[in-house]
Amino acid sequence: MIKAVSQSISGELRSTDHLGRLGGEEFGVLLGQAEQEVAVEISERIRLNVSALSVPGLCGERVSISLSLARYCAKVDSVTAWMAAADRALYEAKRAGLGRVAEAA
C-alpha cells in the first residue's frame, strides 16, 4: 500500500518537487517554487489519483488520502512551526472526512 501510494504521488510531482515519508502512513511533499493555486492543483490531482488506486489485497476497498498545505514564508519563524501548521491542517482535513485537502492558516 505504501509503495502504491508513493508511486501515485510521485507521478504528479514536478522535477522541482520532493517526496519523503515522514513515518507510518504520512508523507511530506515539498513543492518547489509553487504558487498557492498550483499547490492546490497538484494536491487535488494527488488526492484524485490516490483515490483511484486499485490495490491487490484490499478486496475492493477504496484508498483515500487527506492532505494539508502549509506555505513556508517569512512569517514562519522555524521549520518546526511550519511543520506544526501543516500537521494542524492535516488533522482539520481528516476531521472533515475522507479525501480532503486543507490549507494551513
* Positions marked active-site: 25
Contact between residue 27 and residue 21 where contact means Cβ atoms under 8 Å apart: yes
Q: Which residue has the cell 498557492?
A: 36
Report whether 64 contacts 48 (CB < 8 A).
no
- The phi, psi pair for 23, rounded to 5°, reads 140, 150
For residue 46, which amino acid is it?
Answer: I
User: How many CB atoms are located within 10 Å of the residue 102 CB?
Assistant: 21
- Measured on CA atoms in the order 30, 82, 98, 57, is the torsion positive or negative? positive
